[in-house]
A and B are shown apart, each in its own frame.
Chain A
Amino acid sequence: MTASADRDLESVPALLTRNARKFPNKAAFREKEYGIWQRWTWLQVSEEVRAMALGLLALGLKAGDHVAIIGRNRPRLYWAMVAAQKCGAVPVPLYQDSVAEEMGFVLANCNARFVIAADQEQVDKVLEIQDQAPTLEHVIYLDSRGLRKYDHSRLHALADIEAEGRAAHERLEQEMAAREAALNYDSTCVMLYTSGTTGRPKGVVLSNRNIIESAKNSAGFDNLGPGEEVLAYLPMAWVGDFIFSIGQAFWTGFCVNCPESETTMMTDLREIGPTYFFAPPRVFENMLTNVMIRMEDAGRFKRWLFRVFMDHAKKVGGPILDRKPVGGVDRAKYWLGNLLVYGPLKNTLGFSNFRVGYTAGEAIGPEIFEFYRSLGINLKQLYGQTEASVFITLQPDGEVRNDTVGVPGPGVEIRIAENGEVFYRSPGVFVEYYGNPESTASTKDAEGWVATGDAGFIEKDSGHLRIIDRAKDVGKMADGRMFAPKYVENKLKFYPSILEAVVFGADRQMCAAFINIDLTAVGNWAERNNIAYASYQELAGHQRVLDAIQGHVEEVNRSIARDEMLSGCQIHRFLVLHKELDADDGELTRTRKVRRNLIEEKFADLIAALYDGSKSVYTETEVTYEDGRKGKISATLEIRDAAVADAARKVAAE
C-alpha cells in the first residue's frame, strides 16, 4: 500500500469508508433476532453510521466529547461508537453489569455528555446516578421496551436520532465531513476503563495509531483476512473486544456476529462456526466439562469409540496440527477419528471452521489446552493488557505450548527488569490514563516502556516469554534463588483433587507447602475406591489420599525442575491441612485469593514443623461456623517429604 493511501486510513471512520467502497456487498455485521440471522453489508453499515453521526451532531455532540456506550454486544452499539468517532467524539464503552455507583464514577470521571444505552435496565441505572454526573445531557436508548412512560425531555430513541440525522443531512453534512477530516493517527480512538481490582478504575486513552497499528500487526501475524467470521460475545468495555470487533474487523473487513442474547451464546457459536475465536480459559473449561458429562451418559459403544480415538488424538493430534512428521498409519487412524469423533465433536462445539483462536487472562490447565489442540483446533495463547491495546506476546503457529505465552508480537519490544518484571514498548502503548498524570508516569516511562506488573523471563532457546507471577508476589529464597509461590500453587491446583495450596519459602533454604484437598473430587474418588470416611479431617489425613497428593507434588517438582530459574521452588515437605481454608476465617479473601500473611501467622506452629524436620505435628485451630459461632478443632497432621529432582537437590546439599 502506498504512503498516501496509508495516510487516508488513520481513523476507524476512514476504514469504514474504505470498506464500503472495497467490500460494499460483503457481510460486515450479523445479529440473530427473532430466531433469524440478520445481516448488514459494509455499505449498509456505513449508511447507518452516517445517519447516527448526523443525528448526534443535530443533538449537539461536540468534538472531544465523551460518549458512554452501555449494553451487550449489538451491531448498533458498535456503530454508535464509530458514529461518535465520526463526529470527533470519543466512545467510552462501559461494562453492562457494573452497578450504578461504578457507572456514576466513570461517567463523572470522563465528563460524559451523552450516554447510549441498550435497554431499560441500563437507562434506569444511568438515571439513578445522574446527580453524580452533572455533565450528562442526553440518554439515548436502543430498545424502547418499558420506557414509554419515562420523561423524554432528555431521553431519545436511537432510531429517532438516526431519522433526525437523515432529515438534517444537508444542513450538517459539511460539519461532519470537517470533523472526520480532522481525525488522524494521534486523535483518540477510544477510552477504556480498566476494571480496577486495586483502587478506582482508570480510563486508558488509546489513539487511532494504537488501535489501527495493533490491529494491522496482529492481523498480519495470523493472516486474518476479510473472510473471517468472529462471534462478539465478550464485554464491549474490554479492550480485546474493541480490537477484535472494531480494530481488526474494520482493518481486514471481516464479519462480526452478535449473539441473540447472553444466554444463547453456545447455540449461536454453533450456528456461526467462527474461524477466529477468543475465549478466556473458563469458557474452554466449561465446554470440555459439558462434553465429558454428555459422554458419560452416552451408550457403551460410543464411549468406547470416544476413548479410543481421544487417546489417539492425544498422541498425534498436536504434532499433526504443528505440521510435525507423523507416521502414515497414525495419520490414517487420525483421519478415521476425524470422520467418526473429532469432526462431529467440533461441529457440536461450533469449532468446525476454527482456523485460529486465542485464550488469555489466566493460566489454562494443560489437559484442557491439549484436548482442544489434539482435536485439530488451533488454540493458542497470548499475553496482553489494555495499556498495550491487547497484544504483547502471541504464540506463532507451530510453536504452541501450554507453559509460555509466545514471542513478542510484531513491533513489540520486551525487556526484563532486574527484579524479573516484564516491560514492553510497542505502537500499541496507550497515550495516557485520562486525567491522571501521576498514574501515567508511574506506569509508562519517558521512553515509552510500560511496566506490566508481572514477573517473567524469556526462554533462551525458543525466545518465548514465560510469565511466572505478579511481580510483587515474587521473592527470593535465602540463597538468592527466585521464589514464585503462585506459579507453583497454580501448577498444584491444576490437579482436581487439590483445591488450594499455599507455598512457603521466602528467605528460607527450601520450599514447603500446605495443601487443601477438594472434598468433592476426593470424596468422589474415595467412594469409588470404597474408602470410608466420617469427616473432612479424616479424609484429609487418610494414607491413600496423602499418597495421591504426594504423587502430585512430586510430579509438579519434576516439571519445575526443568526450569533452571525456578528449580529452587520445588516442594521438599508438605502437609495436608485438616480444615478447608475459608473466607469466614479470614484465610481467603471473598474472591478466594489466599491471604499469605494471615495464614503464616495463624499456622505458625505448622510452618515451624515443616521446617524442623518432624514427622508429625499436633495442632489446634479456631474455626468459625456458618452461623458465626466459633469452635476449635484439633488434629495430628502427618508431614511428608517429597522427592525433589536432581538439579535442586545438589544445591540443597551444598
Chain B
Amino acid sequence: MLDQSPTGYTTEDGRKIGGVLMEMRAITLSFGGVKAITDVSFDIREGEIRAIIGPNGAGKSSMLNVISGFYVPQEGEVWFRGAKRPPMKPYQVAAQGIARTFQNIALFEGMSVLDNIMTGRLTYMKVNMASQALWWGMAQAEEIENREKVEAIIDFLEIQAIRKTPVARLPYGLKKRVELARALAAEPKLLLLDEPMAGMNVEEKEDMSRFILDVNDEFGTTIALIEHDMGVVMDLSDRLVVMDYGRKIGDGTPDEVRSNQAVIDAYLGVSHD
C-alpha cells in the first residue's frame, strides 16, 4: 500500500508526487431516475497520472464531466487546491487551470491546426477585441507571446508539418494529438483526457502514451485520464480508480487493482443479482 500521507509519495520510477490537488467527496449524480454515479470519493495528487477505468456505462465520462464542471452533482463536494468548489460553469473551471480533451474529438474543423491550438490560449488573452482586430499595440505583443507558447507545444508534440493544415483534412490519430495540444496550450494544472487512445492503432497508441508521459515529466502536469485499453492504462498510470455501475469498486496502484477481486469480477463478468 502506498504512503497516502498528505505530503505525497514517491513512485517506483522515482517521481515525487505531491499533496492532494483535487478531491471528490461522496459524489452522486443522477439524470432523472438514472443514477450515473453513486457515492464515489477519490483524490488526485499533484504530479500524478491518475486513471479512471471501468466497463461501458460505469460512469467514467460522467465523472470526468463532473470534474470539468460540465455536470453539477446532486450530492457530494468537489475540492480543488484545498478549497471547496462551488457549482461552476465549464469556462470558470477552465480559468482555474483545468483543461480537457474529448472522447469524440471537438476541434474547429475548418480552422488550421495552429489556430485551433491558439484557442487554447484564450484564457490568457486580455486585450480587447478592437485592438485585436487592428493587431495594434498590446495585441501584437500578446499574440507573439502566445504564439511562442503554442510553437513550443507544436514542437513538443511533433506536429510541425501540419501547422497550417485545416483540421478537417487530418487523420484521426493526428486530430487527437491536436486536441491534446490545445488542452496543453492552456497550461493546465490538471489535464483531463477522455479516452485519449480510443480508435488508435498500436503505433499511434505508443506515440500517445509517450506524449502523455512526457507531458507529465516535462511540464509537471497532473493528468486524469479515462481509457479502455487496460494494458496501456496499467503501464501509464500511477494510481487507478475502478468504477462499475456508477460505484467505485477499487482504488490503488496498478498492482493493487490487478489483484482486486471486485475488479476482476467486473471485467470478467460475474452476474449481478
Question: Could you list which residues of chain A lie within 8 angstroms of chain B, going by C-beta atoms?
Answer: 32-36, 145-146, 148-149, 260-261, 263-264, 267
Contact = CB atoms under 8 A, between A and B. Distances in A.
Contacts of A34: 148, 151-152, 154-155
Nearest to B151: A34
A260 B160 contact: yes
B214 interface: yes
Contacts of A146: 210, 213-214, 217-218
Main secondary structure of the interface of A (DSSP, over half): loop
B14 interface: yes
Given A35-B160, A261-B161, A149 B217 contact: yes
Nearest to B210: A146
B175 interface: no
A263 B214 contact: no
A155 to B, nearest CB: 16
B163 interface: yes
Contacts of B15: 149
Contact of B160 (A145, A148, A149, A264): A264
Counting chain A CB atoms within 10 Å of each CB, which of B155, B156, B214 scores highest?
Answer: B155
A35 B218 contact: no
Given A149-B13, A149-B14, A35 B163 contact: yes
Interface in B54-87: none
5 contacts: A146-B214, A261-B160, A263-B158, A263-B160, A263-B161
Given A35-B151, A149-B13, A149-B14, A261 B158 contact: yes
A423 B147 CA distance: 57
Contacts of A35: 147, 151, 154, 160, 163
Contacts of A149: 13-15, 217
Main secondary structure of the interface of B (DSSP, over half): helix
Nearest to A262: B161
Counting chain B CB atoms within 10 Å of each CB, which of A35, A145, A148 scores highest?
Answer: A35
Contacts of B147: 35
Nearest to B218: A145
B10 to A, nearest CB: 12
A182 B61 CA distance: 69
Contacts of B217: 146, 148-149
B135 to A, nearest CB: 18
Interface residues of B, number: 19
Contact of B155 (A33, A148, A267): A33
B11 to A, nearest CB: 10
Interface in B121-174: 147-148, 151-152, 154-156, 158, 160-161, 163
A153 to B, nearest CB: 15
Nearest to A36: B151
Contact of A145 (B151, B154, B163, B214): B214
Contacts of B152: 34
Contacts of B148: 34
Nearest to B15: A149
A113 to B, nearest CB: 29
Given A35-B147, A149-B15, A267-B161, 15 more contacts: A33-B155, A34-B148, A34-B155, A145-B214, A146-B210, A146-B214, A146-B217, A146-B218, A148-B217, A149-B217, A260-B161, A261-B158, A261-B161, A263-B158, A264-B161
Nearest to B161: A263
A145 to B, nearest CB: 6
A538 to B, nearest CB: 36
Contacts of A36: 151
Contacts of B156: 145
Contacts of B154: 34-35
A33 B163 CA distance: 13
A497 B154 CA distance: 42
A463 to B, nearest CB: 44
Nearest to A266: B161
Counting chain B CB atoms within 10 Å of each CB, which of A33, A34, A267 scores highest?
Answer: A34
A283 B152 CA distance: 30
A149 B161 CA distance: 29
A569 to B, nearest CB: 45
A420 B15 CA distance: 66
Contacts of A33: 155
Nearest to A264: B161
Interface string B8-41: 0000011100000000000000000000000000
Nearest to A34: B151
Interface string B238-262: 0000000000000000000000000
Nearest to B153: A34
Contacts of A263: 158, 160-161
Closest 9 CB pairs of A and B: A263-B161, A34-B151, A264-B161, A35-B151, A260-B160, A261-B160, A264-B160, A146-B214, A34-B155
Nearest to A32: B160
A34 B147 CA distance: 9
A455 B148 CA distance: 55
Counting chain A CB atoms within 10 Å of each CB, which of B15, B148, B158, B161 scores highest?
Answer: B161
A35 B163 CA distance: 9
Contacts of B218: 145-146
A265 to B, nearest CB: 9
Nearest to B147: A35
A65 B6 CA distance: 53
Contacts of A261: 158, 160-161
Nearest to B162: A263
Nearest to B164: A267
Contacts of A267: 161
Nearest to B213: A146
Nearest to B14: A149
A521 to B, nearest CB: 27
Interface in B210-228: 210, 213-214, 217-218
A260 B155 CA distance: 9
B114 to A, nearest CB: 8
A267 B14 CA distance: 41
Nearest to A33: B155
A33 to B, nearest CB: 7
A152 to B, nearest CB: 13
Nearest to B154: A35
B165 to A, nearest CB: 10
B244 to A, nearest CB: 34
